[in-house]
Amino acid sequence: MTRQYVVLGNGIAGQTCAEELRRLDPDCSIVIIAAERHPLYNRVALPRFLRGQVREEKVMMRTLQDYQRQGLDLYLSTWATEVDVRDKVVRTNRGQEFRYDALLVATGGRPKPPPWAGVEEVEKVFGFQTLDDTKAIIEESDRSRSVLVLGGSFIAYELAEGIAYRKRAQVTWLMRGPWFLRYVLDQEGGRLCQLLGEEAGVRFICQDEVRRFTRSNGRYLAETGSGQRVEFDMLAYGVGLDYYVEPVQGTGIEIRRGIVTDAKLRTSMPDVYAAGDVAVFFDHMVGKHNQMGTWDNAEAHGRTAAHNMAGADEDFFDVPTYTTTMFGSTLAVMGVTPDVQPGLESVRTYSFEERFFRKLFFMDGRLVGGIMIGPPKGRKKLIEIMRARQPIEGPREALLDPANLR
């Protein structure tokens, strides 16, 4: 009998799963239900698109013909609204029903709503998650004199740097924490980010919060707890994600912010799997449940989920990595960091003059994570060491020197 697979979401997790299923089984039926109106695109390239460094065509990763060629039945602009785990059926907002033998939920997340009291006063408020968000941000920020970016997340950073890079609007970046990525970087790492940001023309306000938003002569005014006043035309923000768990709510599938799975990406209901940003999966890297928000993790999840949906019995294990720009420099994060696992031991080195910072994290004598600002030399080797999960012999500081990592 032909097996029937249904995949919710055509981000990198859902897409990888669907393509891997097709590779494993040329005869199966694969339905992809996708809320957005685009075939797969590269979410990680959105900051480059915002900066004007890549064109939209380069952001797109698949065409409609690619889906046809692979026999993937794609339903764009369609929301899965309900999963019936007893009859094994998915229902959509267009009144369709799709039966499944195995189902993947790879629905990712959406920006949390802006949490600041009085923000309803501001009409021009933008989160940064989709291609369509990016186009709207470009259009609005290019006609703004001043943009206020709120939040201390990676997304807030991408907004501050991307809009500043366009050189149309003055950017003020305001965050509650004492520095960017306060749970991962220490004070010196945070200071280096700020130094690089100020060189790129961004004005920083740290350890502060907006107390009041008001309209002021066709513009907006933010007044902060410490008494600062910022006039702006547009607000962009990043304070984390809420996850699209709605289709499985009330089914008995365990939800804890995202959808809980074991290390094989199986949810608590038979034949229902979750992958990518939405999955709270058992992570062998840290020995507990974990949720990642990175491209490579979502792609690798998609592959493992496909294997298991097709009958394998595979545990997911990978060293997570995240590399992005840092105001013209590079920021690379690898493995386990103190935001996921507090109390890690660490060694570090930095130089403000040479604009670099490197910090490595250890648990039970093993190298488990790291963060680097500046050229990420030796990154591959460090990831190899993390994957090997062997105790580190010799002084840990030696790993800070790229010359020792060839």
Ligand X SMILES: Cc1cc2nc3c(=O)[nH]c(=O)nc-3n(C[C@H](O)[C@H](O)[C@H](O)COP(=O)(O)OP(=O)(O)OC[C@H]3O[C@@H](n4cnc5c(N)ncnc54)[C@H](O)[C@@H]3O)c2cc1C
CB 149 within 8 A of CB 132: no
Place of tokens 């305001």: 174
Which of 244, 273, 350, 357 is close enough to bind ligand X by CB under 6 A? 244
E-state strands within 135-233? 146-150, 170-174, 203-205, 210-216, 219-224, 229-232
Residue span 346-375 as binding mask against ligand X, x where in contact by CB under 6 A, dash where not: ------------------------------
Pick out residues in 75-94 that bind ligand X (CB under 6 A).
Answer: 79-80
Residue span 139-168 as binding mask against ligand X, x where in contact by CB under 6 A, dash where not: ----------------x--x----------
Which of 98, 128, 179, 213 is close enough to bind ligand X by CB under 6 A? 128
Judged by CB under 6 A, the stretch of 30-38, 66-74, 221-229, 305-313 that binds ligand X is 30-38
Q: Closest approach of Cβ 291 to ligand X, in Å?
A: 10
Q: Closest approach of Cβ 34 to ligand X, in Å?
A: 5
Q: Closest approach of Cβ 35 to ligand X, in Å?
A: 3
* Rounded-to-integer distance, Cα 199 and Cα 187, Å: 18
Which of 5, 6, 7, 13 is close enough to bind ligand X by CB under 6 A? 13
* Rounded-to-integer distance, Cα 31 and Cα 28, Å: 10
CB 345 within 8 A of CB 360: no
Q: By C-beta, is 101 or 296 nearer to ligand X?
A: 296
Judged by CB under 6 A, the stretch of 9-17, 142-150, 187-195, 357-365 that binds ligand X is 9-17
* Rounded-to-integer distance, Cα 42 and Cα 195, Å: 29
Q: Are strands 29-33 and 72-75 parallel, antiparallel or unpaired?
A: parallel
* Rounded-to-integer distance, Cα 167 and Cα 145, Å: 10
CB 173 within 8 A of CB 197: yes
Pick out residues in 313-332 that bind ligand X (CB under 6 A).
Answer: 322, 324
> Could you tell me the CA-to-CA distances from 374 to 44, 156, 184, 277, 332 in Å, in that order?
19, 20, 16, 27, 9
Which of 28, 62, 129, 280 is close enough to bind ligand X by CB under 6 A? 129
- 247: tokens are 């289709």
Residue span 273-292 as binding mask against ligand X, x where in contact by CB under 6 A, dash where not: ---xx---------------
| DSSP-assigned letter for residue 56 | H
Length of the chain: 406
- What is the maximum span of the chain, computed from C-alpha positions, in angstroms? 69
CB 2 within 8 A of CB 29: yes
Does position 294 interact with ligand X (CB under 6 A)? The reply is: yes
Q: Closest approach of Cβ 220 to ligand X, in Å?
A: 23
Does position 179 interact with ligand X (CB under 6 A)? The reply is: no
Q: Are strands 356-363 and 366-373 parallel, antiparallel or unpaired?
A: antiparallel
Does position 300 interact with ligand X (CB under 6 A)? The reply is: no
CB 329 within 8 A of CB 373: yes
3-class secondary structure, 353 = coil
Judged by CB under 6 A, the stretch of 3-11, 142-150, 257-265, 372-380 that binds ligand X is 3-11
Does position 237 interact with ligand X (CB under 6 A)? The reply is: no
Which amino acid is present at 275? A
Q: Closest approach of Cβ 159 to ligand X, in Å?
A: 8
- 240: tokens are 């984390």
Q: By C-beta, is 46 or 239 nearer to ligand X?
A: 46
Which amino acid is present at 391? P
Q: By C-beta, is 240 or 293 nearer to ligand X?
A: 293
Does position 12 interact with ligand X (CB under 6 A)? The reply is: yes
> Which residue, 233, 246, 224, is CA-closest to 109?
246
* Rounded-to-integer distance, Cα 299 and Cα 15, Å: 8
Does position 47 interact with ligand X (CB under 6 A)? The reply is: yes
Which of 18, 30, 35, 59 is close enough to bind ligand X by CB under 6 A? 35
Q: By C-beta, is 213 or 304 nearer to ligand X?
A: 304
Q: By C-beta, is 128 or 350 nearer to ligand X?
A: 128
Interface residues with ligand X (CB under 6 A) are: 8-9, 11-14, 33-36, 43-44, 46-47, 79-80, 106-108, 128-129, 155, 158, 244, 247, 276-277, 293-296, 298, 322, 324
